[in-house]
Amino acid sequence: MTSRVLIKDLSAQDDGPVSVSGWVDTVRDQKKVQFVVLRDESGAVQLVNPRTTDADGVVVADEPATTISALSQGSFITVTGDLKHDERVKLGGIEIKLASVEVKSHAIAETPIAADSSLDKRMDWRFLDLRNPKQNLIFRIQTTFEHALRTYWVERDFIEIHTPKLMASASESRAELFEVDYFDTKAYLAQSPQFFKQMAQSAGLGKVFEIAPAFRADPSFTSRHATEFTSIDAEISWIDSHEDVMKLHEELLVAGFSAVKAKHGDEITALFDVEITVPTTPFPRIPLAEAKEIVKQRGYEVPRDDDDMDPEGERQIAAYVKETYDHEFVFLTDYASSIRPFYHMRHEGEPGLTKSYDLIFNGTEISTGAQREHRVDVLIEQATEKGLEPEELGFYLDFFRYGAPTHGGFGMGLARVLMLMLHQASIREVTYLFRGPTRLLP
């Protein structure tokens, strides 16, 4: 029996017997010849079956012609036949002349979604939506990107950790926490691995990373928010400032984008009409106060009661950076302590400013990073100032009572990076199965 060959590997095969499996994309059932486009997880190939006729030129109902005539789009089949290289064939310059067709699974003839279906409808039928080559490519890109990040970390002696997603108390605030029953008490789904990344610093692990789920009970319906998302996190010891974290962050992204461009650049251009640009280092860095002034000069003023940069401000500063530096990324630094978590270190002599940053990519925030406060007395003071009870943070504060190095790190949303990399309108497009305020299925 001929072993199954992936379609992407057919072009390297010599002419001769071959077997492929996949789902039926299209069928052209003509009088003298049948054509089938077969697609598997790696690509598509044209199958051809010349029809048999009798002495009077009448088409004979034989196999595999009868089976092909009954095929519906999406049916899974295994075929055998003779591979032939022919540059006249538009689909890859190869085709397979059929010898046999075995139907593994019949599909209902009328599919519930089409190319022009709404995003919500496509999400309802995500497994069918993912058969689209464009959607398939997204998750191969994601795999390459994550592998490049892990390679960067591992080659530099980082340690991968897996932190718990059930917590006894909040990691930042209770405003966006999912509360769940936990035996005879309550637990919370983790908003981030923040506390446990910092524990690793006190434990002497030095440099750690994690790629894992995080949860935010945020009733937002924007294109960039989800209630469950994949967070990319890193934390490092013995830093001098948040500048060390930014340097790590930009080097990591260069590694990820370089790998994606090298492996998928041509496909991305063909299917998304996007040219992947590997960012140059260092990324531009602009203090938040200065960024707001730049935005104001461009004709937009961030609301005065907002210590943050709002979405329109992010878009405006990104446009400025693109025009001025020809760069898709910018670090906005030195955020006000009023809007930052209690564990962000503050500038000496300027307690109103933190040693922190947001990373903006193509007009949207993808990450927050900072140097962390490692002095327990200062942590207690800043937590109390934020309205948190130090008693409830006891286990966390213990991390710093027995000696802790200076440290810092960041958390970054995977889906946002992919969405902006591929110029997609929503993170729903680049999330395998999206979760939002009104979506828990499929």
Please, which pLDDT band fits residue 175 given cuts at 50, 70 and 90? Answer: low
25 confidence band (pLDDT: 50, 70, 90): very high
Domain ranges of the chain: 7-105, 124-430
What pLDDT does 324 receive? 98
Backbone angles phi, psi at 109, to 5 degrees: -60, -40
CATH match of 124-430 with 3.30.930.10: yes
CA–CA separation, 391 vs 404, rounded Å?
A: 20
* CB of 347 closer than 8 Å to CB of 287: no
Helix (H) or strand (E) holding 237: strand 228-237
The annotation status of 365 as a binding-site residue, yes or no, is yes
Superfamily for the 7-105 domain: Nucleic acid-binding proteins (2.40.50.140)
Cα separation, 406 vs 202, in Å, equals: 10
- pLDDT mean across residues, the chain: 95
Please tell me the predicted confidence (pLDDT) of residue 171.
Answer: 60
Flag whether 413 is marked binding: yes
pLDDT tens digits for 301-328?
A: 998 777 899 999 999 999 999 999 999 9
Q: Which of 1-5, 74-78, 350-354 has the lowest mean pLDDT?
A: 1-5
pLDDT at 200: 98
Model confidence, pTM: 0.95
Query: Tens of pLDDT along 375-414?
Result: 999 999 999 999 998 998 999 999 999 999 999 999 999 9
Q: How far is Cα 22 from Cα 43, in angstroms, rounded to an integer? A: 10
Q: What type of residue sits at position 278?
A: V
The pLDDT of residue 216 is above 90: yes
| Residue 415 marked as a ligand binder | yes
Nearest 5°: CA angle at 240, between 237 and 246?
80
401 marked as part of a ligand binding site: no
Q: Is residue 251 scored above 70 in pLDDT?
A: yes
Summarize the confidence of residues 112-131 as an average pLDDT: 95
Convert the pLDDT of each residue in 327-345 to its tens digit. Answer: 999 999 999 999 999 999 9
User: Region 246-270: what's the mean pLDDT?
Assistant: 98
d(CA 377, CA 384): 11
318 is in an annotated binding site: no
Q: What is the pLDDT of residues 58-105, one digit of tens each?
A: 878 889 999 999 999 999 999 999 999 999 999 999 999 999 999 999
3-class secondary structure for 172-191? CCHHHCCEEEECCEEEEECC
The end-to-end CA distance of the chain, in Å, is 38
Exposed/middle/buried for residue 20 (C-beta within 10 Å: 0-12, 13-18, 19+): buried
Q: Determine how many CB atoms are found less than 10 A away from the CB of residue 362.
A: 18
E strand or H helix at 242: helix 242-272
Confidence of residue 1 (pLDDT cuts 50, 70, 90): low
Alpha-helical segments (H) within 105-214: 119-124, 126-129, 133-155, 194-202
Q: Where residue 373 falls among pLDDT bands split at 50, 70, 90?
A: very high
